[in-house]
């Protein structure tokens, strides 16, 4: 818990040193946290078990999670979990987020509900921001960096990827789609599973691209990665050995 730096507290505390309830404000190097939470310490105060509600007004999520893509967060949350010695925070979270920074963009009006463990997220995320309308349900797991897991359903409506700093081109464009995926792997040599995108619509100024369905399947064996793509614009097999492609463009 060194990332919190010097911690001061103003409020009421009841109970014992290793089992207490804190109702007040924690001031840390990462920002202030208003709390109504139960804290139970074990293993000579190295292990923490917690349960209750939290409120932040500018907490430094980047330093807390050691992730430079993140920034600060303003939210109200209820949570239950643990912080064991030399282990990341792990638990359940329900949160209403007024603002959270990601990739130099401040997302607003978001709701989270699910499990966290320092390696990913398993649950639901709703965002209704001026540049994104998203409904996510599923799992993103980076426990094994070489074989991350992506198993989720995503609905996007009128999303401006340029404004979100996810796309450098096409300012003012809008993307809508429904995607489902069940994939493991981080490159074409170990990618297994499938991706299905339906109701895709990309609008850029006076031009638009629409397609009803795109399916992507990947299977690896000892010597090859076998990929199949089926869509209105592109279809065919792809077998990767020395980075060559067999496909058919419609």
pLDDT value of position 46: 87
Sequence spans of domains, the chain: 1-99, 119-250
pLDDT value of position 19: 87
Q: How far is CA 136 from CA 89, 122, 147, 155, in A?
A: 22, 10, 21, 7
Give the Cα separation of 175 and 190 in Å (integer).
Answer: 29
Q: How far is CA 105 from CA 54, 70, 126, 154, in A?
A: 23, 9, 17, 20
Residue 33 CB partners (closer than 8 Å, separation 6+): 25, 26, 54, 55, 56, 59
pLDDT value of position 48: 92
Cβ atoms 123, 135 nearer than 8 A? no
Q: What is the DSSP letter of 188?
A: T
pTM of the model: 0.81
Give the Cα separation of 137 and 201 in Å (integer).
Answer: 21
Residue ranges of the chain with per-residue pLDDT less than 70: 1, 239-250
pLDDT value of position 241: 64
Q: How far is CA 31 from CA 70, 74, 91, 93, in A?
A: 15, 10, 21, 19
pLDDT value of position 240: 65
pLDDT value of position 97: 95
Specify which residues 219 forms β-bridges with. Answer: 226
């Amino acid at each position: 818990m060194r990332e919190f730096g010097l911690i001061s507290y103003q409020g009421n505390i009841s109970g014992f040193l290793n089992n207490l309830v804190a109702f007040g404000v924690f001031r840390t190097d990462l920002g202030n946290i208003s709390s109504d939470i139960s804290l139970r310490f074990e293993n000579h105060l190295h292990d923490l078990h917690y349960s209750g509600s939290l409120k932040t007004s500018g907490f430094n999520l980047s330093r807390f999670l050691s992730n430079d893509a993140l920034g600060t967060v303003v939210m109200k949350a209820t949570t239950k979990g643990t912080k064991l010695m030399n282990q990341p925070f792990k638990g359940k979270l329900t949160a209403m987020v007024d603002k959270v920074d990601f990739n130099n963009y401040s997302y607003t009006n978001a709701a989270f509900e699910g499990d966290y463990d320092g390696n990913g997220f398993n649950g639901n995320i709703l965002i209704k921001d001026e540049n994104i309308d998203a409904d996510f349900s599923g799992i993103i797991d980076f426990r094994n960096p070489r074989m991350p897991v992506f198993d989720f359903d995503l609905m996007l409506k009128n999303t401006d990827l340029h404004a979100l700093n996810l796309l450098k081109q096409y300012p003012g464009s809008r993307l809508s789609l429904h995607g489902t995926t069940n994939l493991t792997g981080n490159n074409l040599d170990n990618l297994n599973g499938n991706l299905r995108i339906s109701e895709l619509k990309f609008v850029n100024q006076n031009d638009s691209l629409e397609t009803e369905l795109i399916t992507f399947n990947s299977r690896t064996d000892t010597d090859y990665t076998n990929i199949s793509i089926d869509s209105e614009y592109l279809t065919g097999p792809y077998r990767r050995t020395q980075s060559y492609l067999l496909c058919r463009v419609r």
